[in-house]
């Protein structure tokens, strides 16, 4: 069984103290794929110890919350759920992954953060809030993936308010999937084992064949 590091939400509890948290669905889903999930704390010394002493073969940047708009040079008046410490933790993990060519999969917010890391940006789309928890069509435009899967249209879930557009895609990222509005739903890096998907494979998601292929490519 392979060990994979998995990032967590970082937010204040009712006592005003910061806590890490991880939805159990992540652990259930990825352990069903014979992967041992090791949650990553947003406390820096814990991260340093993990990177030095734990044997792991991949990193998953999870969803939940928002990437701090300051990182990509924007400001928003609307309330956001951000954690500067989590952003730093995930940036440190990406720095490590690139240096060591460790596979990375970004899910939803994780995909957005990777895009920003590579010089891209995000756009807040109010219409996306109206579709949270629904499914929509997804179009796979990568020929190799289509040939493997035997089709190019899938349905996936949606749980996000920010979006990646084609004209604000990060450097060296290659799009493999778009939604019906031509927004980016999935990409991979040209030369590094780094992938990002905008949907949540660990939640109730109809695109199981697509999920399995991407996880095979990215983590397994």
Q: What is the DSSP string of 103-142?
A: -EEEETHHHHHHHHHTT---EE-HHHHTTTT-EEEEEE--
Rounded to an integer, what is the distance from CA 185 to the centroid of its chain?
11
The token pair that represents 140 in the structure block: 């796979």
Give 181's contacts (C-beta < 8 A, 6+ positions apart): none
What are the 10-residue block averages of pLDDT along the chain, 220 residues in total?
Answer: 96 91 97 96 88 95 94 82 94 97 98 98 75 88 96 94 95 97 96 98 93 94
CB-CB contact of 84 with 68 (8 Å): yes
Sequence spans of domains, the chain: 2-218
pLDDT at position 130 is: 62
For the segment(s) 2-218, the CATH number from 3.30.70.520, 3.40.50.880, 3.20.20.70, 3.80.10.10 is 3.40.50.880
Residue 139 and residue 155: Cα distance in Å, rounded?
9
- On whether the CB atoms of residues 135 and 188 are closer than 8 A, the answer is no
pTM of the model: 0.95
């Amino acid at each position: 069984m392979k060990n994979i590091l998995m990032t967590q939400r970082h937010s204040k509890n009712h006592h005003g103290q910061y806590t890490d948290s991880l939805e159990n669905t992540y652990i259930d889903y990825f352990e069903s794929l014979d992967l041992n999930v090791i949650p990553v704390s947003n406390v820096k010394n814990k991260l340093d110890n993990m990177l030095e002493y734990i044997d792991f073969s991949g990193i998953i940047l999870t969803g939940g919350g928002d990437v701090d708009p300051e990182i990509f040079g924007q400001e928003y008046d609307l309330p956001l759920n951000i954690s500067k410490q989590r952003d730093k933790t995930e940036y440190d993990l990406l720095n490590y992954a690139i240096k060591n060519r460790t596979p990375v999969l970004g899910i939803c917010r994780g995909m957005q953060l990777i895009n920003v890391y590579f010089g891209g940006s995000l756009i807040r789309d109010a219409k996306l809030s109206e579709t949270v928890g629904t499914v929509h069509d997804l179009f796979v435009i990568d020929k190799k993936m289509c040939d493997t899967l035997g089709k190019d249209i899938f349905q996936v879930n949606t749980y996000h308010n920010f979006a990646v557009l084609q004209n604000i895609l990060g450097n060296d990222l290659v799009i493999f999937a778009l939604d019906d509005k031509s927004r980016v739903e999935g990409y991979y890096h040209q030369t590094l084992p780094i992938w990002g998907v905008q949907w949540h494979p660990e939640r109730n998601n109809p695109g199981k064949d697509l999920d399995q292929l991407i996880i095979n490519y990215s983590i397994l």
